Structure 1
Amino acid sequence: KGGKLYFDLINKRSVESLSYLVIHPHQGFIYSACFSHDGTKVASCGASKTLKVFKSTSGEKLAEIQAHEEEVLCCAFTYDDRLIATCSSDRKVKVWNAEQGKLLRAFAEEHEEQVNHCEFTNTARRLLLATCSNDSCMNVKLWNLNKPSSQNTMFGHFEPVNHCCFSPDDSYLSTSCNDGTVKLFQVSSANEWKTIDVRSMFADGEEVIVKCSTWSPDSKRVICAARNAVLVFDVESSDLLLEIRTNRLSMVQYCHACPTSNLLAIAFSNYALELWDLENSKKKADCSGHLSWVQRVQFSNDGSKLLSCSDDQTVRLWETQKVHTSSAIGLKRDSDVLFNNEEIIVSAADNCNRLQVRDGRTSSVLFQSEEMSSRIRCTCLSRQSSAVALGQESGSVQVLDIPSGKHLATLQGHTKTVLHCRFSLNGQTLVTSSEDTTIRVWKWQSGECTVLQGHKEQVRCFSLLSDSMNDSSLLSWSFDGTVKVWDIERGERLQDIQAHQGAILSCHVSPDRCLFATTSADKTAKLWSIQSWQCTHTLRGHQECVRSCRFSWDSRRLTTGDDNGEIRLWSVEDGSLLKICSRDSKGGMDSLHGGWVSDLHFSPDDSLLVSAGGYIKWWNVVTGEALQTFYPTGSALKKIHVSPDFSTFVTIDNIGILYILQRVV
């Protein structure tokens, strides 16, 4: 809040090749964003009815304008960056002074339906503004800003026109329409020059709406987006030169050609943003990170930067030369972290199915295994030795020495995927759980094994009831709705608790070892006494599956997080609700945490709470106020590893990027 930075990324060098800036300028969907011609500024607009301008290097806000009475659908700079045009669902087109935010022109009379797009000519030769709308006939117009009414209306489309775009030399204007065509108009005469029938490139009977068009730098090719395809046409002959098709479940939302190279940016409905080389028709990079539909992409005039805006309320900026290629090595989210004084050791599988052990501070690889024949699904580091264990889809468990990579043990017994593994505190015992419904307790150096059987569905996780070397009690929970307590030395089941009607999604033991908590797909959380094994309180109020829980260190509070992004704080003593953290910005997607709340941790003094989901958020426990939000490039964080002093935070996102964050105040 107030610009104060509490936590910062310390492995910046390893992620600097991804989006270098993520900005949240608006509450609500962002429909359009554009660079100024000199590349120093970005303007954005959307459902908030406002136009905002900010620095492209830092995200610092330069201007905020209450632009229209309804959603603002597009914004565009003039070639000299002095003016910005906006158009809206309110049927109006407005022109603003970019520096002072003053309204200079309002064209309110001519378009009868929403105005979808606006764009200025590219050069100083003649300043014109083009607009297109949902009007049935008079839907494409050219405006001279010195005249009170439009200079020309371009006739030819009889259905909504979604987009209009000047050729780089300003000779032509391309228009993209719901009728399945792209028309090219001569700017000088406002007459139609030719029609490209995009609809004919698809099967009969398919509805073909052309979303947008963009021009190659030499004005010889026009590129358009329709359905699940990007199509490149020769301007002179109208011949199809190239088509890029995605799967039929993903639609192309927008595309933009780089003004200085053969690169094309494509936004897809599955939230993806890709860079393609039009010369050899190869995908060059994936720019992942958005959490909802990407509405617009644009290169800067010099081609060095790329921006994207999305329904997730963010504008992301990328350095064109630094984005990761799609073949980049990424890590899987099922990871383990060892905090040892100043050391941070991270263990995770990579997308080539090798186990990697990394130095968290430098991101350097300390150990990398050979590629495994069966997919690695979980991993854990020993706290006492240099051993690392991994569980595989085949049911096999392997133990390796790091950094030598020496093979220490292969443990066979599970018949299905190993979902979780954990060394005991002394490192002599390894516990594993599986989709085969069993838990296995291994004396891994000898291969001796005790099997804990009783669950009816997969066992995704378990927890030792105590950190004591002498305590051999283990708590396990399952999608079968039960919690079971085991003596792992004797292999005996001590308790069998029918805890929930739905699958149990998380469980946590209080630090004072008096209680444990369970959360479930039945939308409740429960508190249980370890002495009596009876439920002491049922915590109701979540509207979705309760995904995660954590006791405070003083064992007096419990926090729970659900699949709607809501975080609740409860009193352990009487089960009363103390606070709902996520209601600090009603109606905004930011309050929804960008997805499920998958993990929660209190600071040692219980004054702060960190939560992981689509984002990472830090909270003031007393006020329920969000102190800071960290937006990863990807999303869907499964877990956040927190150092004992609450100073360092480690996580991996769904596109394989490792983040190490450290407290700075």
Structure 2
Amino acid sequence: MVKLIHTLADHGDDVSCCAFSSTLLATCSLDKTIRLYSLSDFAELPHSPLKFHTYAVHCCSFSPSGHVLASCSTDGTTVLWSAHSGHTLTVLEQPGGSPVRVCCFSPDSTYLASGAADGSVVLWNAHSYKLYRCGSVKDSSLVACAFSPDGGLLVTGSSGGDLTVWDDRMRCLHSEKAHDLGITCCSFSSQPLSGGEHGLQLYRLASCGQDCEIKLWVVSFTRVLGFELKYRSTLSGHCAPVLACAFSHDGQMLASGLWFFKTGLLCVALAVLELICRPGWP
């Protein structure tokens, strides 16, 4: 059973993304701001809202430690903030100045990935704030990204519907049409799958899109045998575009969301889908 815990209505425009750390909730909005709340009582922090961006903020993401918050915007920048003081740590400018749609940290906090409307994806060193590697996809905006649990792979999703897999040197390993009307989100389970042999690493990946579907994949990778992306199944329970998906910590549940935006109000409808083991599913 799900019940409403709290409603936050502080933003002055549509809420575009939210992110959790162990102690904080961050929300960002088309009103150009990021807001921070304590999870203990949902009180807004004294240094919130965070203001720097000159256009809409599309995505926000905490580092695994929760100490750093990244935000990205139509203004072509990704900003790193101290989550506890609100101070700006650095401003990363996307090459070409294209609007930045999505950002995420690697599991060890070494890298930050940022994906933009021109199809560019940049891997930044999150400690030196220097550009590490770049890649790009053709004829689409990048709207989703996720690192594998070991940080060795980065998956990006595009408005054209392609899933693209990159290694840790931003070499394109694979690209595949996943959703006909465009991808909206992709997410790795943090728990590796059993059954890997000879150093084979197996991970479960979910993608969702404007086609109202969620697709489940298995990603396998080894330095010797290379990379493989295997389609496993499609979940078709939604009657509208699926804009968000995320695995539970133990990898046994997948939450998918349809977002209903009201001005300044954050609300989300979630469908929780239990992943039942069956033949052909690792």
Which one of 240, 244, 264 corresponds to residue 176 of structure 2?
244
Opposite residue 231 of structure 1, the aligned amino acid is: T
Q: State the structure with bigger RCO (CA 8 A, min sep 6), 1 or 2.
A: 2
- Normalised by the length of structure 1, the TM-score is 0.37
- Residue 311 (structure 1) shift: 4.8
2:263 corresponds to: none
1:214 corresponds to: 146
1:164 corresponds to: 103
Instruction: Return the alpha-carbon distance in structure 2 between the equivalents of residues 195 and 161 of structure 1.
Output: 14
Conserved in 2, the CA contact under 8 Å of 1:107 and 1:149? no
Opposite residue 259 of structure 1, the aligned amino acid is: S
Residues 189-212 of structure 1: CA deviation (Å, up to 9, x unaligned): 11111101223xxxxxxx321111
Give the CA RMSD over aligned residues.
Answer: 2.1
Opposite residue 129 of structure 1, the aligned amino acid is: L
Conserved in 1, the CA contact under 8 Å of 2:94 and 2:100? no
- Is 1:196 matched up with 2:196? no
- Is 1:306 matched up with 2:254? yes
Opposite residue 83 of structure 1, the aligned amino acid is: L
- Residue 168 (structure 1) shift: 0.6
Which one of 317, 324, 330 corresponds to residue 272 of structure 2?
317
Partner SS for 1:164: strand
1:285/1:234 Cα in 2 relative to 1: closer, same or farther (>3 Å)? same
Residues 40-63 of structure 1: CA deviation (Å, up to 9, x unaligned): xxxxxxxxxxxxxxxxxx212222
Instruction: Return the alpha-carbon distance in structure 1 between the equivalents of residues 82 and 181 of structure 2.
Output: 39
Instruction: Return the alpha-carbon distance in structure 1 between the equivalents of residues 7 and 280 of structure 2.
Output: 36
Conserved in 2, the CA contact under 8 Å of 1:292 and 1:311? no
- Residue 303 (structure 1) shift: 1.7
Which one of 179, 187, 191 corresponds to residue 126 of structure 2?
187
- Residue 321 (structure 1) shift: 3.5
Identical pairs, percent? 25
2:184 corresponds to: 253
1:177 corresponds to: 116
Computing the radius of gyration from Cα coordinates, the structure with the larger value is 1
- Residue 301 (structure 1) shift: 2.6
Which one of 154, 163, 171 corresponds to residue 230 of structure 1?
163
2:195 corresponds to: none
Partner SS for 2:254: strand
1:93 corresponds to: 34
Opposite residue 149 of structure 1, the aligned amino acid is: H
1:189/1:228 Cα in 2 relative to 1: closer, same or farther (>3 Å)? same
Instruction: Return the alpha-carbon distance in structure 2 between the equivalents of residues 180 and 147 of structure 1.
Output: 33
1:294 corresponds to: 242
1:288/1:323 Cα in 2 relative to 1: closer, same or farther (>3 Å)? farther
Conserved in 2, the CA contact under 8 Å of 1:69 and 1:90? yes
Residues 282-301 of structure 1: CA deviation (Å, up to 9, x unaligned): 22222211111111111123
Partner SS for 1:260: coil
Residues 382-426 of structure 1: CA deviation (Å, up to 9, x unaligned): xxxxxxxxxxxxxxxxxxxxxxxxxxxxxxxxxxxxxxxxxxxxx
Partner SS for 1:154: strand
1:270/1:308 Cα in 2 relative to 1: closer, same or farther (>3 Å)? same
Instruction: Return the alpha-carbon distance in structure 2 between the equivalents of residues 86 and 141 of structure 1.
Output: 14
Conserved in 1, the CA contact under 8 Å of 2:50 and 2:86? no
1:133 corresponds to: 73
Residues 86-118 of structure 1: CA deviation (Å, up to 9, x unaligned): 111111111101121111032343111111111
1:66/1:193 Cα in 2 relative to 1: closer, same or farther (>3 Å)? same
Opposite residue 102 of structure 2, the aligned amino acid is: H
Return structure 1 stretches of 4+ with deviation > 6 angstroms. 323-326
- Is 1:123 matched up with 2:65? yes
Opposite residue 249 of structure 2, the aligned amino acid is: N
- Residue 324 (structure 1) shift: 10
Q: How do 1:387-426 residues align onto structure 2 when only pairs under 5 Å count?
A: none
Instruction: Return the alpha-carbon distance in structure 1 between the equivalents of residues 111 and 121 of structure 2.
Output: 12
1:320/1:123 Cα in 2 relative to 1: closer, same or farther (>3 Å)? farther
Opposite residue 119 of structure 2, the aligned amino acid is: G
Opposite residue 293 of structure 1, the aligned amino acid is: P
Instruction: Return the alpha-carbon distance in structure 2 between the equivalents of residues 120 and 109 of structure 1.
Output: 17
Which one of 140, 147, 160 corresponds to residue 85 of structure 2?
147
Conserved in 2, the CA contact under 8 Å of 1:64 and 1:101? no
The alignment of Structure 1 onto Structure 2 pairs a total of residues equal to: 254
Return 5+ residue gaps in structure 1 as ranges: 1-57, 200-206, 327-665
- Normalised by the length of structure 2, the TM-score is 0.83
- Is 1:61 matched up with 2:4? yes
Q: How do 1:360-509 residues align onto structure 2 when only pairs under 5 Å count?
A: none
- Residue 242 (structure 1) shift: 2.3
Which one of 213, 224, 235 corresponds to residue 272 of structure 1?
213
Partner SS for 1:66: coil
Conserved in 2, the CA contact under 8 Å of 1:307 and 1:316? yes
Which one of 36, 55, 62 corresponds to residue 113 of structure 1?
55
